[in-house]
C-alpha cells in the first residue's frame, strides 16, 4: 500500500470521486490535486505524520508569513508544541519537474521564512519528491548547516546518515533517529532523476559542448 492509500485509510486525507480535489481532514482544507506541487505537498504531509510521527495537531499548511510589508505563504510548518506558536520544521514543496534554479530559489525562500518566524533554531526541508535537501538554521548565530534528514518526533540529535540496509530489522530506540530502509526506484522515477541531473549539469540548456574548454 502506498503512502496516499495509507493516508486515506488513516483518515488523514480524502479525495473527490474524480481525484481532482484533496482534502486535509484535520485542517478542513480542500485543494486542487491536479496541481503538481500539491501532489508533492500531499506526500510530504503524509510522511511527516506516518514516517516522522508528528501529530496533525502540530502541523499547519499554507501558513501566512509576514515579511516586511509583504505576506507570503509557507507550504508546511511543523511546530514544537500543540499551541503551534514555536516553528520546528519548515517544508517547501516543488513539483517533480522543477528546474535546478527553481529548486535553489525554493531553498532561499524557505530560509527567509525560517528567519521571519519565531524560534532561533529550526529545520528546513525542501522537496520535489525526487530531490530532497535538509538544513538546520540557527537565527541567533546566523548559520545554516546541511543535514541528512529532518528530525523525527522526539529526536533531539540527528545521526549523520538516513538509510540503512534492512533498517526494519534493527532495534529502534525511543528518542533515537529511526533509519529508513533502502528502496528500489522505478524506471520512471529514475529517468526523471537523470533528466534533472542532466539539466542541472548543463544549466538548463544554456551550455553546450562547444562552450567547454578541456585542459590537459
CA distance 60 to 24: 10
Q: Is residue 97 part of a domain?
A: yes
pLDDT value of residue 168: 62
Q: Is residue 53 part of a domain?
A: yes
pLDDT value of residue 151: 95
CA distance 148 to 99: 22
| pTM across the whole model | 0.81
Q: Is residue 130 part of a domain?
A: yes
pLDDT value of residue 88: 97
pLDDT value of residue 156: 87
pLDDT value of residue 159: 79
Q: Is residue 62 part of a domain?
A: yes
Length of the chain: 216
Q: Is residue 71 part of a domain?
A: yes
Q: Is residue 129 part of a domain?
A: yes
Q: Is residue 213 part of a domain?
A: no
pLDDT value of residue 178: 74
Residue 72's domain comprises 37-150
Looking up residue 51, the CATH number of its domain turns out to be 3.90.1570
Structurally, how many domains does the chain consist of? 1
| CA distances, 61 to each of 79, 103, 125 (Å) | 11, 20, 14
Averaged pLDDT in 10-residue chunks for the chain of 216 residues = 94 97 96 98 98 96 92 96 96 95 95 94 96 95 94 88 60 64 60 56 51 42
pLDDT value of residue 150: 96
* Largest CA-CA distance found in the chain, in angstroms, rounded: 62
- Which residues are CB-neighbours of 76 under 8 A, at least 6 positions away? 41, 44, 45, 48, 59, 60, 61, 63, 89, 90, 91, 93
Q: Is residue 32 part of a domain?
A: no
How many Cβ atoms sit within 10 Å of the Cβ of residue 193? 14
Amino acid at each position: 500500500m502506498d503512502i496516499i492509500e495509507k493516508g486515506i485509510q488513516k483518515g488523514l486525507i480524502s479525495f473527490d470521486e474524480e481525484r481532482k480535489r484533496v482534502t486535509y481532514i484535520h485542517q478542513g482544507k480542500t485543494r486542487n490535486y491536479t496541481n503538481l506541487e500539491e501532489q508533492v505537498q500531499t506526500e510530504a504531509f503524509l510522511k511527516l505524520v506516518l514516517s516522522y510521527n508528528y501529530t496533525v495537531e502540530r502541523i499547519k499548511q499554507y501558513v501566512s508569513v509576514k515579511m516586511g510589508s509583504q505576506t507570503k505563504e509557507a507550504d508546511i510548518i511543523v511546530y514544537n508544541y500543540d499551541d503551534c506558536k514555536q516553528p520546528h520544521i519548515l517544508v517547501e514543496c516543488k513539483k517533480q519537474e522543477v528546474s535546478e534554479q527553481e529548486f535553489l530559489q525554493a531553498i532561499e525562500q524557505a530560509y527567509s521564512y525560517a528567519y521571519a518566524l519565531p524560534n532561533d533554531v529550526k529545520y528546513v526541508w525542501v522537496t520535489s519528491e525526487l530531490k530532497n535537501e535538509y538544513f538546520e538554521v540557527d537565527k541567533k548565530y546566523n548559520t545554516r548547516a546541511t543535514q541528512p534528514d529532518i528530525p523525527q518526533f522526539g529526536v533531539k540529535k540527528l545521526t549523520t546518515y538516513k538509510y540503512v540496509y534492512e533498517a526494519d530489522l534493527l532495534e529502534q530506540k525511543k528518542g533515537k533517529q529511526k533509519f529508513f530502509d533502502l528502496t528500489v526506484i522505478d524506471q520512471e522515477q529514475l529517468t526523471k532523476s537523470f533528466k534533472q541531473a542532466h539539466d542541472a549539469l548543463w544549466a538548463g540548456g544554456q551550455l553546450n559542448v562547444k562552450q567547454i574548454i578541456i585542459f590537459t
